Chain A
Amino acid sequence: MSRRGEGGVPVPLLVPALLGIAFLVLPLLGLVIRAPWSSIGPQLAQQEVGQALRLSLFSATVATVVSLLLGVPIAWVLARSRIRGRSVLRALVTVPLVLPPVVGGVALFLVIGRQGILGRPLYEHLGVSIPFTTTAVVIAETFVAMPFLVISVEGALRAADARFEDAAATLGADRWTTFRRVTLPLVAPGVAAGAVLCWARALGEFGATITFAGNFPGTTQTMPLAVYLALQRDPEAAIVLSLVLLAVSLGTLLLLRDRWLGRSAVV
C-alpha cells in the first residue's frame, strides 16, 4: 500500500514521525493524567515550592543575561573575526554541550571551589566562597546553557548578509557602531531564539547545579532539584512540581514565539 496521507506525507516517513511524536508527547500527557488534581492547591501552597520556583526563574534569568553579555561577543568572534584557531576555540566553547553536566559541576569545583585554582585565593584573600550559594547556581547554569546561545547566535551571524556591514563601513560606521546599529538588529531573531534556548536549558539544569551548588532550600534548591528530592519521599509532590515546571516552560516558549520570534523564528 502506497496511499499518501492528507498532507502528502509518504508512509515510511509518516509512521515513524507519528511514533516519535507519541514518544515525545505521551510522557507529558502521563504527567497531566496522573496529577493529583484534588490536592494540587495545598501542594502548591507549600513554602518550598514557591521558593524553588522563584529561585529557578531568578537564576535561569540571570544566567541568560550573563550568557547574552558574554556569549554574543563570543559568537561574533567566531563568525566574523579573522583570528587564528577559531575552529579550536569553537570546539572548546561548545564542549559543555556534550559534556555530562555532572562533570561540568566537578570541573567548576576544581576551579572555583574553596580549594580550587581560583577559588582558594578568592577565599583566603577576600573571604569569598562561591560553592553552595545562589551565585554557584547561576554559574553552573551559565556554564551549561551558554553554548546553546553561542551556537544559535553564531549561526544567525553567518546567515546574515555581511555586505550590510560593508555598507555601514562606507557610511562612516566603525566596527563597534556597525555591530550595535546594523549587525545586532539584523540577527535579533537569532539572539532571541538563542536566549530562549539558553533560558530553558538553564531552567532545567540539574547535574552541574547539584554538584557545584548543592541542594539547600531557599538558596540553591531549584525546581529540578526539588522534583528529584520529592520523588523519593512524596511522588505526588514531584508530579505537581513537574507540572509547574512544564507549564512555565511551555508558557514561556509560546509567549516568546508570538511576541519576539515571529515568522523568522529559528526555534
Chain B
Amino acid sequence: MTLAAHVVVQRGALHLDVDLTVADGEVLAVLGPNGAGKSTLLRVLAGLLPPDGGRVALDGDTVWDDGRDHVPAHERSLGMVFQDHLLFPHLSVTENVAFGLRTRGVRRAPARAAAEEWLARVHLAGLGDRRPGELSGGQAQRAALARALVVDPRLLLLDEPLSALDARTRLTVRAELRRHLAEFAGSAVLVSHDPVDAMALADRVVVVEDGRVVQTGTPAEVARRPRTDYVARLVGLVLLPGTGAGTTVRLDGGGVVSVGGEATGPVFVAVRPASVSLYLERPAGSPRNVWPARLAAATPHGSVVRCDLAGEVPLTADVTATSFAELGLVPGAPVWASVKAADVTVYTR
C-alpha cells in the first residue's frame, strides 16, 4: 500500500509543485507555514480538488493523471480527519462513525456494531448515542478518527488534526493518535504547522515552503539539521549559511565562526539559543566565538528570556530571567555574545 504523488496546483499566488511517496505503514508529515499549500496538497490527495497537473497513484492504481484519469473522492479508499472534526451535527456519534460503512453498502446492524467497536477503541464507548455537539473537542476528534479508520482505508489523511484542541487535550489525543497510526497498515499523510506533531507522529517529514519541498528526512534529521530559516525557527535553532574551511566557517552574512567539526565548502551553521551567553564586557578566556552586538528584542519564552541580537552575526540568545535582570539589558543596549565552538553544529548545505 503505497502512495506516489506528483501534485501541481496553480491557484492565485500559490504555485504548488510537490513530489512525494509514502510507503506501506509509513506516516509522512507535511510541515510548513500557513499558506504553503499543505491543505491544498491534502485536498488533491483526497480527490476533493482536481490539480492542474501531475499524477497520483495509490498502490499502483492511478487515481489522477493529468486529467485523463480522475477517480473522485468517494470512489477512493481513504479516510480523512479534519482540523475541526466535521462530524455531521444531525447524526449521532455512532451514525457518524458508521457513515462510511453505510455508503459502502454495509447493512445497518453490522455497520453499527463495527462503529461501536471502533468507538470503544478510541475510548468513547457509551457515548455513541450523543450528538457531536455534546462531545468535548478531544472526544469529537477521536470520534472523527474512528469515523475515518472504520472503513480500513488504504490512505489516511490528517489535516491539522490537533491544532483546534487546547494544550492539555492535544497531549492526550496526540498520544492516542500515535498509537492508532502505529497500528494503521496503510499510508498516512499528516499535515501540520506544529513541529511537535510531526516529530511525535511521523516516520518521515517533508517541509513545504511556498509550494516547494525544501527539506525531507526523518524527524530527528530535520530537527538536528534544518535547512531553512523556517524549519530552524520551528525546532529552536538559529541557522547561519557560510563557507567552511577546516574548523572555521566564514558566514555569508559576514563574520567567522569556529565550529566543533571539520567543514569545507558551502555549509550551514546551527546554533542553539541556550548555548549563547551574553556579557556586558568582552569576556576573557576560552570561548573563541565572541561578537559585539546590540539587543534588538527581548521576549519571555518559558522560564528564559529570548534575546534577539543585531550585529554582524544575527544570533538569538536564551538567558535566564535572573541573569537578564542582572545584566540590566534594555533594547538597543550593547552586549557581547559568545558561544563555544563545541556547541556549534555544522553540516553541508
Asked if B82 lies at the interface with its beta carbon under 8 angstroms from chain A, I say yes
Asked if B100 lies at the interface with its beta carbon under 8 angstroms from chain A, I say yes
Closest chain B residue to A172, Cβ basis: B103
Asked if B147 lies at the interface with its beta carbon under 8 angstroms from chain A, I say yes
- B-side interface residues, number (CB < 8 Å): 25
Segment from A30-38, A163-171, A202-210 that makes contact with B: A163-171
Q: Which of B32-80 contact A (CB under 8 A)?
A: 43, 46-48, 72-75, 78-80
**Given the complex, which residues of A lie within 8 Å of B90, measured CB to CB?**
185-186, 188
Report if A170-B80 is in contact (Cβ < 8 Å); known contacts: A182-B88, A185-B90, A186-B90.
Answer: yes
Asked if A39 lies at the interface with its beta carbon under 8 angstroms from chain B, I say no
Q: How far is the CA of A161 from the CA of B132 in the complex (A)?
A: 15
Taking a contact as CB atoms closer than 8 A, the residue among A164, A166, A173, A185 that contacts B103 in the complex is A173
Report if A169-B88 is in contact (Cβ < 8 Å); known contacts: A163-B82, A174-B74, A177-B103.
Answer: no
**Given the complex, which residues of B lie within 8 Å of A170, measured CB to CB?**
46, 48, 73-74, 78-80, 148, 157
Asked if B99 lies at the interface with its beta carbon under 8 angstroms from chain A, I say yes
Q: How many A-B residue pairs have CB under 8 A?
A: 66
B99–A171 CB distance below 8 A: yes
- Describe A's contact surface by its main secondary structure: helix
**Given the complex, which residues of B lie within 8 Å of A181, measured CB to CB?**
99, 103
Q: How far is the CA of A186 from the CA of B91 in the complex (A)?
A: 10
30 intermolecular pairs with C-beta atoms under 8 Å apart: A161-B86, A163-B86, A164-B88, A167-B88, A168-B74, A168-B88, A168-B99, A168-B103, A169-B47, A169-B72, A169-B73, A170-B48, A170-B157, A171-B79, A171-B100, A171-B103, A171-B151, A172-B74, A172-B75, A172-B100, A172-B151, A173-B74, A173-B99, A177-B74, A182-B88, A185-B90, A185-B91, A186-B88, A186-B89, A188-B90
Residues of A within 8 A of B (CB): 161, 163-164, 166-174, 177-178, 181-182, 185-186, 188
Would you list the 10 A-B pairs with minimal beta carbon distance, nearest first?
Answer: A171-B100, A169-B73, A170-B80, A172-B103, A185-B90, A167-B86, A173-B103, A169-B74, A172-B104, A174-B74
